[in-house]
Amino acid sequence: MDPQINKSAPMIELRNVSKWYDSFQALKDVSLTVNKGERVVICGPSGSGKSTAIRCINRLEQHQSGEILVEGVELTADFKNIELIRREVGMVFQQFNLFPHLTILQNLTLAPRRVRKMPRAQAEELAMRYLTRVRIAEQAHKYPAQLSGGQQQRVAIARALCMEPQVMLFDEPTSALDPEMIKEVLDVMVELAEEHMTMICVTHEMGFARTVADRVVFMDHGQVVEVAPPAEFFASPKNERTRLFLGQLLKH
């Protein structure tokens, strides 16, 4: 039987997810539920498993135990499930990962044309709509190498949006950017959040977490240590490790 999406199920559910790289355990019993329209920021020191956790959601990494459900569909080795889930889940990477051999417009139309079988004209119209939204429409016919990092990341966001996903995953979207370009990317992400896109962002931008997130998740050593609304998370973190981490962030 083909997998079916259940619209009343939570957007994403992780239940006791564990993952090992050989003998190293990258995720330890991670459980997290993200509801529709919710914006969740995951933070934590490097190597804490936060990127691994979101990369498991669209199967770029494979979890070895526990369950991951996207709109009620369980992520299994069955390629049908993986395909279905990847269509619902958009992802933005730290290194942008635009396709350098394609123009900006072709970067955006590739998946809608191949996956959604959209006619070219319609795919281009869709692409231009999203490029306009991230304020970069005038660059449509350039190649990625001709754009700045901030522009490339905005294109990457538009490319993911072209598949009209139900949820967006951001894997440290501003970490590879020069400081003066961070704001233009965050602005686009804030707009997206204001439109009630379900989002999971792995980021160190605590200002973004404070203003946008419904909940902040702190991970350390492959575990979810603390989950709280931002006001509470920043004002009175309960866990010692969270306090230590936030203290280190604020020192600079």
Residues 6+ apart with CB under 8 A from 203: 41, 42, 43, 170, 172, 173, 174, 175, 209
The secondary structure of 115-159, three-state, reads CCCCCHHHHHHHHHHHHHHCCCHHHCCCCHHHCCHHHHHHHHHHH
In the complex, minimum distance from the CB of residue 160 to other proteins, in angstroms, rounded to a whole number: 7
Which residue's CB is nearer to other proteins, number 159 or number 241? 159
Which residue's CB is nearer to other proteins, number 55 or number 241? 55
Which residue's CB is nearer to other proteins, number 100 or number 179? 100
Q: Hey, how many other C-beta atoms are within 10 angstroms of the C-beta on 115?
A: 12
> Applying CB under 8 A, which of residues 27, 32, 111, 189 lies at the interface with other proteins?
111
Which residue's CB is nearer to other proteins, number 87 or number 243? 87
> Applying CB under 8 A, which of residues 91, 105, 123, 177 lies at the interface with other proteins?
91
Q: How many CA atoms lie within 13 A of 179 on its CB side?
A: 0
In the complex, minimum distance from the CB of residue 204 to other proteins, in angstroms, rounded to a whole number: 20
Question: d(Cα 237, Cα 214) in Å, to the nearest integer?
Answer: 16
Q: Tell me, residue by residue from 134 to 173, as one string, x for binding to other proteins by CB under 8 A and - for no binding.
A: --------xx-xx---------x--xx--x----------
> Applying CB under 8 A, which of residues 4, 80, 114, 138 lies at the interface with other proteins?
114
Looking up tokens 């958009």 gives 90
Specify the DSSP class assigned to residue 193: H
In the complex, minimum distance from the CB of residue 99 to other proteins, in angstroms, rounded to a whole number: 6
Interaction between residue 200 and other proteins (CB under 8 A): no
Single-letter code of the amino acid located at 127: A
Question: What is the β-pairing status of strands 167-171 and 198-202?
Answer: parallel
Name which of residues 31 to 70 contact other proteins (CB under 8 A).
58-60
> Applying CB under 8 A, which of residues 7, 101, 117, 251 lies at the interface with other proteins?
101
Backbone torsions φ then ψ of 243, nearest 5 degrees: -60, -45
Which residue's CB is nearer to other proteins, number 31 or number 95? 95
Single-letter code of the amino acid located at 249: L
Contact footprint for other proteins (CB under 8 A): 58-60, 83, 86-87, 89-91, 93, 95, 97-101, 110-111, 114-115, 142-143, 145-146, 156, 159-160, 163
